[in-house]
Chains A and B, each alone.
Chain A
Amino acid sequence: DAGVTQSPTHLIKTRGQHVTLRCSPISGHKSVSWYQQVLGQGPQFIFQYYEKEERGRGNFPDRFSARQFPNYSSELNVNALLLGDSALYLCASSFRSGTPEAFFGQGTRLTVV
């Protein structure tokens, strides 16, 4: 069975550009969460979506947005990229919104130059 898949695996963007990251959850899972992991730190919660609705938002600026599609896949969008947005962006899949366990994809490594 396929786990959580994220695309692309790596990308390089210039300051001020926009980026879209994609995530497909484990089959049957309906909740997707996004995390940002800066080098040397633990992941930081950005968003949770369940049944296409936002269920939680972390302390990130409005430049960060996300959505979930009817097939439960999700996109994370970041506008007006800053150097500080360089990080590993992780998508986590859970069966439902309140399910304790979260299973992570391999992440997208974003470098802003």
Chain B
Amino acid sequence: GQQLNQSPQSMFIQEGEDVSMNCTSSSIFNTWLWYKQDPGEGPVLLIALYKAGELTSNGRLTAQFGITRKDSFLNISASIPSDVGIYFCAGRPSNTGKLIFGQGTTLQVKP
């Protein structure tokens, strides 16, 4: 099935470091969403972006909706051990109810 290109696949960082991950697509999306998934759990919505160029923050998380509407990035500042998990980007094409997900970025934080 169709998926977004999400990178990097995995990251191993020191506590306190900043993290950046991004998603690109060949298709235009009307909405970009970023989720975090812990083992054995469903994805939890972190940030939603609704228009091109939008920059939105949620605590230490900041995400942007690319101007071309084909990409988005997520930054996490001053990482802490509880940031560990898998981060997914998801795009919603126009006039559809479905979400298209990236392959995920696995984040590990060393205390």
Binding site for B on A (CB under 8 A): 4, 31, 33, 35, 41-45, 48, 50, 55-56, 58-59, 90, 92, 94, 97-98, 100-107, 109
Contact = CB atoms under 8 A, between A and B. Distances in A.
Contacts of A101: 33, 45, 48
Interface in B65-111: 88, 90, 92, 95-104
B62 interface: no
A3 B97 CA distance: 20
B33 A102 contact: yes
Contacts of B100: 45
Interface residues on B, range: 20 to 34
B59 interface: no
- Highest count of chain B CB atoms <10 Å: which of A33, A44, A59: A44
Contact of A58 (B33, B95, B98): B98
B7 interface: no
Nearest to A46: B98
